[in-house]
Structure 1
Amino acid sequence: MSDLSQEQWAKQLKADENAFILDVRTEEEVEDGFIPNAKNLNIFKGQAFIYELEALDKSKNYYVYCRSGGRSGQACAIMNEMGFENAYNLLGGFSEWTGDVEK
């Protein structure tokens, strides 16, 4: 797992043609807005979250975020344990995101 600053995360994401953006917040949080093209998998769903991760392509590069960076860090650690090689945690999370947002 790599913790990336907001600037590093955005720059690396923009240049990555194998990128997959993963939002691990709750559905209620997502209603406040999300990073364009992000797929939402709520980390609080427990085992269901694990099943959803298992369905993902492990060859992709995952850019993971939550509200402040804590849950996404946990998600990246879980993903690494499951065999995902490239999971990047957005430090500061969505609350510090200054890029594009969709509602």
Structure 2
Amino acid sequence: MTLSKAWLAATGIECDEPGKPKGGSPLPFVLSAEAMLLVAGMTRHIFGMGGIPSPGAALGAGPGSGLFFISPWIMINNACEMRPFRLTLINGAYATFGCALMGLVLKLFQG
């Protein structure tokens, strides 16, 4: 939540006085959890096909997914929606960091 205020400002989401988004819903969290399972499944498949040998290699390959697959897609969507580029940087950084952690965890706990 380090960048939550900057993210809220870039999205234009209205907030109440304490700073929480108005009209919040649990749906984005449910959809996010489902999406992360899909990303983790595909990441595991890619790691298996690519022969990623170690947690260190996974920590190198994981962020590649976030940086070179997910972040460009975020950029395309934000550009078409005329969102601030700062939003692309914030969301792209979260995607890259998340994929790095996901790759590491997948490799550490592979069965």
What TM-score do you get using the length of structure 2 for normalisation? 0.29
What TM-score do you get using the length of structure 1 for normalisation? 0.30
Greater strand content: 1
* Greater C-alpha radius of gyration: 2
Pick 1 or 2: higher relative contact order, CA cutoff 8 A, min separation 6: 1
Greater helix content: 2
